[in-house]
Amino acid sequence: MARSPRRAPIPSLLCCFVTIAAMACDRAPPALETEVPVTLDRVAIDDHDSPVIVLEEEGGPRWLPIWIGLAEAHSIALEMEQRRLPRPNTHDLARSVIREMKGRVARVVVTELRGGTYYAILNLDVGGEQVEVDARPSDAIAIALRDGAPIFVRESLFDEVDASDDGPIEGEEPAPNREI
């Protein structure tokens, strides 16, 4: 007689997931820098058919384009339109894991630009404890949108983009021209 595979209880798996994520991201906090609140203005396609999200400074004139993957752009666009898929995608799963751990997304911060790649931190509040998780901006924003969490960009990133004639990615102008 064939035996059914043994399944671990969901809370145990979720606890392990969050514990591992917290341990992997435990590092000294960066020097304090001004964080600017932004809104996700749009998801667009640039002249080279690459997806880009545009973050706009709340109450200000600055904006920050971040080129992302197609799957992430699709996930973000679906959430902006409040459309639900019949099955959860990866960002829906991450939100569910966070909620099952009695957590919530406190905020997202786009922290730096290195070698044409943006970095972000997903700040979670899990059982009253603050947990920082290193994340791609697109993933962090997709998850934050599902929880209604605020999004911030470090001040220096606006300066870096303004100082560059070529935009944040070598050879490409920040020219998102078509919305997804």
Which of 91-117 are b and which e, b meaning 16 or more Cβ less than 10 Å from the residue's Cβ? bbebbebbeebebebbbbbbbbbeeee
Query: How many residues comprise the chain?
Result: 180
pLDDT for 58 beyond 50: yes
The C-alpha angle with vertex 52 and arms to 121 and 88, in degrees rounded to 5, equals 65
Candidate from 60-64, 93-97, 161-165 with smallest mean pLDDT: 161-165
Percentage of the chain modeled with pLDDT above 70: 72
Contact criterion met (CB below 8 Å) for 146 and 95: yes
Task: Please give the structure tokens belonging to residue 97.
Answer: 């894991």
pLDDT for 108 beyond 50: yes
Q: In whole angstroms, how far apart are CA 1 and each of 4, 71, 129?
A: 10, 42, 47
As a whole number, mean pLDDT of residues 118-128 equals 95
Region of residue 148 (phi > 0: left; psi between -120 and 50: alpha; otherwise: beta): left
Give residue 10's pLDDT.
Answer: 47
Chain centroid, CA 10 distance in Å: 25
Ordered structural domains, the chain, with CATH: 10-169 (3.10.690.10)
Distance CA 116, CA 107 (A): 23
Considering the entire predicted model, what is its pTM? 0.74
Candidate from 3-17, 92-106, 108-122, 147-161 with smallest mean pLDDT: 3-17
As a whole number, mean pLDDT of residues 115-121 equals 95
